[in-house]
């Protein structure tokens, strides 16, 4: 099974940039989308169904044009979980999960810490999310949490490791992500790829993408019980519908 995670930075904008043709060309089984910036009633959902994804689920922020996640599936899940049930995070539409017979897939969009208030919100969200996942794994041990974590884990994951004072590479954020992995997850890309200079997000400024001055902040985190089922993990920087690019994990 091929699973893609992609922060599209606005699904309506991505559709105008050829998203559907690209999707059909790579043909994943499950697509986790972050930052759709849309409610489903604002979209022509037929385009996803005609592309081969008759099962699509949308969890949107209360605020229109903001945040929001979705999952597209070729086959029907047995259960869909909208949000976490935690009031402090669900109003921004950041978590959506689909359960199949023997594993689950979540689309996650962690907040960014663009200012002090949002950084505090992010840190609180991270703490609550960790507890939520700890509890979730008791009943759903086989889970893949795909998405934009808005954190570079290690120096290899950022083009300029000196940026330790910038949210996304703060010591406290990196420590949390390390702890999240240590709680029972595998960073599927880094598990199979040890080379530097692989990123999933680039600033629109200073020609960063053409110069590959990027950050790896998108992850397909696979729970430890599924470790032997990871077959491939890779990044698709040639896809340019967003300031992010898609990341892929293939599971047996």
The pTM (predicted TM-score) of the whole model is 0.98
Q: Supply the pLDDT for residue 250.
A: 98
What CATH number is attached to the domain comprising 156?
A: 3.60.10.10
C-alpha to C-alpha distances, 86 to 94, 95, 105, 133, nearest whole angstrom = 11, 10, 19, 12
User: Can you give the residue range of the structural domain that contains 120?
Assistant: 2-251
Secondary structure E strands in 142-200 = 143-148, 185-187
By the 10 Å C-beta count (0-12 exposed, 13-18 middle, 19+ buried), 120 is classed as exposed
Q: Biggest alpha carbon distance in the chain?
A: 46
pLDDT of residue 179: 98
Going from the first residue of the chain to its last (252 residues), give the mean pLDDT of each consecutive group of 10, the final group possibly shorter: 98 98 98 98 97 98 97 98 96 98 98 94 98 98 98 98 96 98 98 98 96 98 98 98 98 97
The residue assigned the tokens 């570079």 is: 152
Return the sign of the alpha-carbon dihedral for residues 75, 53, 108, 2: positive
How far, in Å, CA of 162 to CA of 150, rounded?
17
Virtual torsion, Cα 96, 198, 113, 176, nearest 10 deg: 80
**Contact criterion met (CB below 8 Å) for 251 and 144:** yes
Distance CA 157, CA 197 (A): 7
Q: What is the pLDDT of residue 28?
A: 98
Q: Which residues are catalytic?
A: 148
| Number of domain units in the chain | 1
| Residue 247, helix vs strand vs coil | strand
């Amino acid at each position: 099974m091929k699973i893609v995670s992609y922060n599209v930075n606005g699904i309506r904008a991505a559709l105008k940039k050829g998203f559907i043709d690209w999707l059909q060309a790579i043909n994943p089984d499950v697509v986790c989308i972050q930052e759709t910036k849309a409610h489903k009633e604002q979209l022509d959902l037929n385009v996803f169904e005609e592309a081969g994804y008759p099962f699509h689920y949308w969890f949107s922020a209360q605020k229109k044009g903001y945040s929001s996640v979705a999952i597209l599936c070729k086959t029907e899940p047995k259960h869909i979980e909208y949000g976490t049930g935690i009031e402090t995070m669900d109003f921004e539409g950041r978590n959506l999960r689909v359960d199949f017979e023997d594993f689950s897939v979540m689309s996650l969009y962690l907040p960014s810490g663009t200012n002090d208030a949002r950084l505090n919100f992010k840190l609180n969200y991270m703490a609550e999310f960790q507890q939520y996942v700890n509890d979730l794994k008791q009943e759903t041990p086989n889970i893949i949490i795909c998405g934009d974590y808005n954190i570079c884990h290690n120096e290899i994951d950022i083009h300029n490791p000196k940026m330790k004072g910038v949210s996304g590479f703060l010591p406290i954020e990196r420590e949390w992500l390390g702890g999240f992995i240590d709680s029972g997850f595998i960073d599927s890309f880094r598990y199979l790829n040890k080379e530097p200079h692989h990123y999933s997000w680039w600033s629109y400024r200073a020609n960063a993408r053409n110069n590959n001055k990027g950050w790896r902040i998108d992850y397909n985190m696979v729970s430890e019980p599924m470790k032997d089922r990871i077959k491939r993990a890779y990044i698709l920087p040639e896809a340019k519908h967003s300031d992010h690019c898609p990341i892929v994990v293939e599971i047996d």
